């Protein structure tokens, strides 16, 4: 694991997000903001235009996630914020504020749900 932001490590192929970045630039123009918040922010803008979603809807997702993080000893950040603090945080890429953006990391999590029969049939009881 390398310190800092994630970087592309494969030099023998195109970056897998390159097509998304190029399409995003064509649709929404270029902006001097980090590429991932820009892609997610613009996806949020498209959802707002299409379905009437508000910036408050997105902020409530961050509020809920921060609220849960205080109880997770493995969470990268464990601070709780109010909805007003999330909405008032510095804008990163509209409609996303700093407190709505995830830090870059190469950590991950997974939950596998299986029936009792599947577990027994595959010897996974332990």
Domain annotation covers residue 12: no
Q: Out of 7-11, 31-35, 81-85, which region has the weakest mean confidence (pLDDT)?
A: 7-11
Asked whether residue 106 is assigned to any structural domain, the reply reads yes
- CA dist 73 and 87 (Å) reads 25
Query: Which letter does DSSP use for residue 98 in this model?
Result: G
For residue 1, tell me if it sits in a domain: no
Give me the domain span that covers residue 40: 18-121
- 3-state SS assignment for residue 46: helix
Residue 3 falls within a domain, yes or no? no
Structural domain count of the chain: 1
Domain-located, residue 9: no
In a domain, 10, yes or no: no
Query: In this predicted model, what pLDDT tens digit does every residue of 89-100 receive, in sequence order?
Result: 999 999 999 999
Please report whether residue 5 resides in a domain. no
Distance CA 112, CA 61 (A): 24
Task: Classify residue 82: in a domain, yes or no.
Answer: yes
Predicted pLDDT at 3: 60
Of the listed ranges 7-11, 50-54, 80-84, 92-96, the least confidently predicted one is: 7-11
> Looking at the predicted structure, is the pLDDT value of residue 17 above 60?
yes
């Amino acid at each position: 694991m390398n310190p800092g932001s994630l970087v592309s490590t494969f030099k023998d192929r195109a970056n897998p997000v390159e097509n998304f970045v190029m399409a995003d630039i064509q649709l929404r123009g270029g902006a001097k903001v980090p590429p991932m918040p820009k892609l997610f922010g613009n996806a949020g803008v498209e959802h707002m235009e299409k379905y009437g979603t508000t910036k408050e809807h997105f902020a409530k997702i961050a509020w809920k996630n921060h609220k849960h993080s205080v109880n997770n000893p493995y969470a990268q950040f464990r601070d709780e914020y109010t909805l007003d603090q999330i909405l008032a945080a510095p804008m990163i890429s509209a409609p996303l504020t700093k407190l709505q953006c995830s830090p870059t990391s190469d950590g991950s999590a997974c939950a596998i749900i299986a029936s009792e029969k599947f577990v027994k049939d595959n010897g996974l009881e332990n």
